[in-house]
Amino acid sequence: MKGSLLLNEPLAKYTSWRVGGPAERMYIPADRQDLCDFIKTLPAAEPVFWMGLGSNLLVRDGGISGTVINTKGRLKEMRLIGDGLVYVEAGVPCAHVARFCGEHGLSGAEFLAGIPGTMGGALKMNAGAFGGETWGIVKNVETIDVDGQVKQRQPEQFTVGYRSVKGAEGEWFLAATLSLEAGDVVASQQKIKKLLEHRAKTQPTNQPSCGSVFRNPPDDFAARLIEQSGLKGYAIGGACVSEKHANFIVNTGKATAADIELLITYVQQQVEQQQGIKLQTEVCMVGEAE
């Protein structure tokens, strides 16, 4: 293998919350072919977890058993491939996709500027921001299966919903082709600038967080329900409900994953008691408790 295999690698430095125990094994592929070759070597029953920028992710303090594949800085190819079509590999940060499309006069991907993860993560959960959703601009995807074989898939082969994508079990997203409308470079860049300014004003972008913790219930907002329940600023250990945006939990400096998970559960309980709605988590919680 040409990539790097790390054993008992602490994951806190790879997650946007800056918490998490070790990965039993972490593989950082050299390139796409190296990734395919590596996956072919794994035992059939090996647990495999993919990680990009580590946002929308809570790794518990006991860490992750099996193999973590880290695509940060890898699988980063992005290119125009036709009229309004952009090929993007899974490791490309969503914000880079938004800028690239805008710079090439393509409209419809601006919302990706507000998603703090990679294209792979966005495909996995149908990530959205500012009214846009990832799968709304997907023409097709490439996946890799447990045998290291690359496959072409169409959107109709998946069941796509709000923050949910199901289908192609035992496969992981490698890349996507996005289909966009012809637009205006200046207009796209101005839209992205406004979206980012709004994000900076309304979200705690200067503190470690995972992005939005809870899904918005139908016809309502999780942040409103949490704020109405008097939970802004509520803390457990080093984890705190953001004063700036109630659907964010921030690490004030010394939070553990256990602190964050306890606070998530507490918020759910309080909102259900006070508002009659059980909030569903958007964040992916993985690994073992200590």
Q: Which residues are known to be catalytic?
A: 163, 212, 282
Q: How far is CA 66 from CA 2, 8, 10, 264, in A?
A: 20, 10, 14, 26
- Classify residue 3 by its DSSP letter: S
Q: At a CB cut-off of 8 Å and minimum separation 6, what does 251 contact? A: 17, 18, 19, 207, 208, 209, 238, 239, 260
Q: How far is CA 1 from CA 40, 70, 86, 273, in A?
A: 11, 15, 30, 53
Question: Alpha helix locations (H) across the chain?
Answer: 32-41, 94-103, 119-125, 185-202, 222-228, 257-275
